[in-house]
Structure 1
Amino acid sequence: MNKWLTILLCIGLPLAVGGVSAYVTIQNVQSWYPGLVKPFFNPPNTVFGPVWTVLYILMGISFYLVLRKPSSEKKKHAIILFLIQLLLNFWWSILFFRFHLTGIALVDIVLLWLFIILMIRRFYQVSGKAANLQWPYLAWVSFASVLNASVWYLNH
């Protein structure tokens, strides 16, 4: 496949996942979420979109770097871990914003955090550059996990 088309598809996949989950949850982000008690460190809503967009782009570039490596069991496992964490990422927004299941969303985001770590570890075995592109994602999900736990605690 054409290199540039592959790059676009790799970046497009996480952007599409984020776009679909945002579309499904946007109404509740605007109507339900503002009514919750939030911790003092809750950033303004305008921060989330740009941060997630950058993170999804980094995910896609990282995925491309892994895909272009020669076939191996490590590469196969890296791809599987990437897809699992992307699925957990997708469901978090829906659980939290669409269904208001902040406790179940907390379980999901903790699993997401663990799978990001597993993915980074496996990515290092395939492409160090791909792994290093994931550190901002892990940092943001770490912050989001604390935020999710705080929102659950303050509103439970």
Structure 2
Amino acid sequence: MTMLANPRPRWLSPRSLVALAAALAICFGAAQLGSIATQPNLAPWYAGLEKPWFNPPNVAFPIAWSILFALMAVALWRVVMLSEGAARRSALTAFAVQLGLNALWSFAFFAARSPLLGMIEIVPFFLSILWTVARFRPIDRVAAALLYPYVAWVAFAGVLNAAILVLNG
């Protein structure tokens, strides 16, 4: 059952466009936080780690994450526009937790230079994304579906993190 604040949101209304801009700012703000932890540690630390054969080229990461943060922002925007009350609060809480854990992973893995801390942190991070999908789905199936690539990428990141931990442990 969809919990609509407005059965037909005006997607191009000023309120909607402000909500979209806020969602983009929030998501890309979290991306910037993660980048602050990541960038100074790419060389020589990360570059010097043993990596598995399935490690993507470095150029793939900012491309993938930019797409994922954009999808997250659109999903957040849709949930804000299509919900109210307890459903909205629950969905936004889940979203905020996963977004915070997203940024925290970069600090655990890169800033702390610890694949072990990254591995420990990625478990609740991944679970929080699933929680977010579960909170978004009753409000808007499209918003939930927009997070599926994120689920897949973070699952892959967990496998990659584990492999780096094993190869460098």
Deviations 1:13-34, CA, capped at 9 Å, x for gaps: 1111111221232021122101
The TM-score normalised by the length of structure 1 is 0.95
User: Which of 28, 32, 35 in structure 2 is aligned with 1:19?
Assistant: 32
Aligned-partner SS, 1:9: helix
Give the drift of 1:88. 0.5
- In the other structure, the counterpart of 1:146 is 159
Q: Distance in 2 between matches of 1:70 and 1:35?
A: 47
Gaps of at least 5 residues in structure 1 are none
- In the other structure, the counterpart of 1:58 is 71
For the pair 1:102 / 2:115, whether they are aligned, the reply is yes
Backbone CA RMSD of aligned residues: 1.1
Q: Distance in 2 between matches of 1:70 and 1:139?
A: 26
Structure richer in helix, relative to its length: 1
| Identity score, percent | 33
Moved over 4 A (4+): none
**Residues 38 and 110 of structure 2 are in contact (CA less than 8 Å); yes or no, is this contact kept in structure 1?**
yes
**Residues 55 and 160 of structure 2 are in contact (CA less than 8 Å); yes or no, is this contact kept in structure 1?**
yes
Give the drift of 1:45. 0.6
Between the two proteins, the alignment pairs up a number of residues equal to 156
Give the drift of 1:2. 2.8
Aligned-partner SS, 1:100: coil
Q: Distance in 1 between matches of 2:113 and 2:37?
A: 13
Deviations 1:38-88, CA, capped at 9 Å, x for gaps: 111001110000100010000011001111123132221110000000000
